[in-house]
Amino acid sequence: MQKQLSFRSLLFAFGTLLLLCFALTACAVKNPAPEHATVTGTALYRERIMLPPDAELTIRLLDVSLADAPAKTLGVQVIPSPGNPPYAFSVAYDPAEIDPRHTYSVAADIRVNGKLLFITDTHYSVITRGASNTAELVLIKVQ
C-alpha cells in the first residue's frame, strides 16, 4: 500500500507541476512589436535664401532595393511653410514592412505650388545594412 501511495503522490505532484507550467505560460505577457517606428534627422540647403510662405518640404522613406524599378514609399512627412533651415523631420513607418535584406533611403524635396525648388541628389541609407534610423540631408537647388 505504501508503494502505491507514493506513486499516486508522485503522479499528483507531477500533474500539478505540469498544470502550473501551462498556466504560467498562458499568463506570460509578450511584448508586441511596435506598430510604428521612425526615421529622424534634419534637412537643409546651403543657399542663403528664404523660402516663400507657400513652400512645402516633403521627406520620404523609400525601399530602393530593386534596380530598374520605382522605389516603394514606406513613409512620408510633409512640412508646410517650413521656415528657415535646418528642418527637423520624423518619418513614421511600419517595422513589419522592413526586410533586412533590402536597402532603404530617405529623400527630400521642397516645392512651391508644385514647382520643384530643392531636392536631395545623394543616397542617404537608413535602417538596414548597418545604417541607423537617423539622417542628415542636404538638398541642392534645382536649376
**Does the pLDDT of residue 69 top 60, yes or no?**
yes
CA–CA distance, 122 with 138 (Å, rounded to integer): 8
* Helices and strands (H, E) in the chain, number of each type: 1, 8
Taking only the tens place, the pLDDT of each residue in 76-123 is: 999 999 999 999 999 999 999 999 999 999 999 999 999 999 999 999
Nearest to 33 by CA among 92, 95, 97: 95
pLDDT value for 28? 52
CA–CA distance, 41 with 133 (Å, rounded to integer): 8
pLDDT value for 109? 98
Which residues are CB-contacts of 79 (< 8 A; sequence separation ≥ 6)?
A: 56, 57, 58, 59, 87, 89
- The pTM score is 0.75
pLDDT value for 23? 56
CA–CA distance, 34 with 21 (Å, rounded to integer): 28
The secondary element (H helix, E strand) that includes residue 93 is strand 87-93
